[in-house]
Homo-oligomer: A and B are copies of this chain.
Amino acid sequence: MRPFLSHPFDDDKLKEECGVFGVIGVADAANFVALGLHALQHRGQEAGGIVSYDPEQGFNSARRFGYVRDNFTKADVMDTLPGELAIGHVRYSTAGSKGATAIRDVQPFFGEFSMGGAAIAHNGNLTNAAALRRELIERGSIFQSSSDSECIIHLMARSIQKTIPERIKDALRRVEGAFSVVAMTRTKLIGVRDPLGVRPLVLGRIGDHGWALSSETCGLDIIGADFIREIDPGEMVVIENNKVDSFRPFSPAKSRFCIFEHVYFSRPDSILGGRSVYETRRQIGVELAREAPVEADLVCPVPDSGTPAAIGFAAESGIPFGLGITRNQYMGRTFIEPTEQIRNMGVRLKLNVNRALIKGKRVILVDDSVVRGTTSRKIKDMILDAGAAEVHFRIASPPTAWPCFYGVDTPERSKLLAATMSEDEMRDWIGVDSLKFISLDGLYRAAGEAAGRDAANPRYCDACFSGDYPVAPSDKIEEGFQMKAAE
């Protein structure tokens, strides 16, 4: 058997682990959920699932590996998901089950309780899931998946509350970490955000009778729903009979929205925390051009996420903007590798350089982040190979030096380039003429905080840059993770 060639660059990105979507009050709700999940596909591409409820057909579910477009667009699947109430989930594999994700790990999770069934879908990560799981198994719960999110439904099953919304509150008060949850009973659509509001969740309206919950506003746009508002950090909404009730089941806390959602995870056409993601990214480019100017002939984005920052950089610096790297829009998972010899010749499955544009030029490459740095080296090679005179990297985020424990798939700390090297060392290791990251203050300015980061009371969760974790990662600490020493 010939070996397979994985995507050269995909393992060098932080990956959002999930997107959630729910709809109530419209016929064929599952079709809306499929559309919403399709718009959220960038948040999780490994698998997806939908649960729907119909008074006559009861609860139904479908869970599939692969893209929404390939699974939840066929009548033979969608016809099994009738009803006016449905929720769904798209996911990457979590670190724990890498390469061994079974279909039983695919959410939403479903439980039959004495007062009826309920399904939940979870975006985020629970920092005390391992301890909870141990305790639940000892008390007789049988886990069906390797997913930590399954704890929530078992906690609900063991709650002595009489209604499912109350059981959800009970359960979520026991968990720690980041969670945006969408849940459903036979009559209610429910949405909850953790007290810090690390992951996004928004509310939309579909016509006169329908409502939607979505990780991002782009999920509302695709179905023509109106964006009503964000679910607040620490808020729980229960939607039933065309009415939205709001609860605050948790102790109040200062919100700490994930700043990396603005940098990379979210779609540029989404509005998060009242700000346009596209505009934040473009503004990062403007800040970068001010913080780290350089003489050059071309500002070229690393596709696709670097594009808005590159536009901002070009506008601020006056250097022409051009698409020097072309992305293959038909990219799929893997290709069989031709031969060993060819691998070393540099197969370019995903990206191709526009040689005619690059040749002889001093090129500024704008990328969103540097994780392991391996991608940056390969792109530099491609650009030099095409005849560039100079290569300057400008990175639209500060150095990523700490792992995320709130729902993002990060390499362990020792694999993060910025955890082991200074900016100059990184520049030399990548092999470019210059390398500059935006400062943390610059990033905050681009994200709307004119004064930069308030160290005493930062508006965002920026633990991946700062090591300042707003929720202690207790499972990880038990496993031996070393927090940043107090300064």
A38 within 8 A of B: yes
A172 within 8 A of B: no
Given A221-B348, A268-B323, A326-B268, CB of A34 within 8 Å of CB of B335: yes
Q: Which of A240-248, A338-346, A410-418 contacts B (4 or more CB under 8 A)?
A: A338-346
Interface size on A, residues (CB 8 A): 90
Q: Which of A194-202, A349-357, A464-472 contacts B (4 or more CB under 8 A)?
A: A349-357
- The answer on a CB contact under 8 Å between B67 and A330 is yes
Question: Which one, B38, B42, B268, B326, contacts A335 given CB within 8 A?
Answer: B38
| Least Cβ–Cβ distance between A175 and chain B, in angstroms | 17
- The answer on a CB contact under 8 Å between A39 and B113 is no
Nearest neighbor of A347 in chain B, beta-carbon distance: B224
Chain copies in the assembly? Answer: 4
| Least Cβ–Cβ distance between A417 and chain B, in angstroms | 26
The A277-296 residues at the B interface (CB cut-off 8 A) are: 278-279, 282
A379 within 8 A of B: no
A250 within 8 A of B: no
- The answer on a CB contact under 8 Å between A354 and B35 is no
| Residues on B with beta carbons closer than 8 Å to the beta carbon of A42 | 329-330
Taken together as a complex, chains A and B put the C-alpha atoms of A333 and B330 apart, in Å, by 12
| Residues on B with beta carbons closer than 8 Å to the beta carbon of A78 | 2, 336
Given A222-B347, A223-B338, CB of A137 within 8 Å of CB of B153: no
Given A69-B333, A332-B73, CB of A354 within 8 Å of CB of B268: yes
The 9 closest A-B pairs by CB, nearest first: A69-B332, A276-B356, A224-B345, A140-B158, A41-B330, A269-B326, A31-B338, A140-B157, A111-B142
- The answer on a CB contact under 8 Å between B341 and A207 is yes
Taken together as a complex, chains A and B put the C-alpha atoms of A157 and B45 apart, in Å, by 34
Taken together as a complex, chains A and B put the C-alpha atoms of A341 and B333 apart, in Å, by 36
The A32-51 residues at the B interface (CB cut-off 8 A) are: 32, 34-35, 38-39, 41-42, 45
- The answer on a CB contact under 8 Å between B330 and A329 is no
- The answer on a CB contact under 8 Å between B352 and A218 is yes
Q: Which of A229-237, A253-261, A314-322, A454-462 contacts B (4 or more CB under 8 A)?
A: A314-322
| Residues on B with beta carbons closer than 8 Å to the beta carbon of A304 | 329
- The answer on a CB contact under 8 Å between A154 and B137 is no
A-B contact pairs, 18 of them (CB 8 A): A2-B75, A2-B78, A26-B339, A28-B339, A31-B338, A35-B335, A35-B338, A39-B328, A41-B328, A67-B330, A69-B331, A73-B335, A112-B143, A114-B137, A224-B348, A269-B355, A276-B356, A279-B356
The A108-149 residues at the B interface (CB cut-off 8 A) are: 111-114, 134, 137-144
The A76-118 residues at the B interface (CB cut-off 8 A) are: 78-79, 111-114
| Residues on B with beta carbons closer than 8 Å to the beta carbon of A346 | 224
A70 within 8 A of B: yes
| Least Cβ–Cβ distance between A79 and chain B, in angstroms | 8
Taken together as a complex, chains A and B put the C-alpha atoms of A278 and B354 apart, in Å, by 8
| Least Cβ–Cβ distance between A207 and chain B, in angstroms | 7
Nearest neighbor of A320 in chain B, beta-carbon distance: B315
Taken together as a complex, chains A and B put the C-alpha atoms of A322 and B311 apart, in Å, by 7
| Residues on B with beta carbons closer than 8 Å to the beta carbon of A34 | 335-336
| Residues on B with beta carbons closer than 8 Å to the beta carbon of A31 | 2, 335-339
The A158-173 residues at the B interface (CB cut-off 8 A) are: 158
Taken together as a complex, chains A and B put the C-alpha atoms of A346 and B206 apart, in Å, by 12
Taken together as a complex, chains A and B put the C-alpha atoms of A339 and B223 apart, in Å, by 11
A68 within 8 A of B: yes
| Residues on B with beta carbons closer than 8 Å to the beta carbon of A333 | 69, 73
Nearest neighbor of A325 in chain B, beta-carbon distance: B269
- The answer on a CB contact under 8 Å between B140 and A276 is no
A439 within 8 A of B: no
- The answer on a CB contact under 8 Å between A347 and B223 is yes
Taken together as a complex, chains A and B put the C-alpha atoms of A28 and B340 apart, in Å, by 11
| Residues on B with beta carbons closer than 8 Å to the beta carbon of A339 | 26-28, 31
The A444-482 residues at the B interface (CB cut-off 8 A) are: none
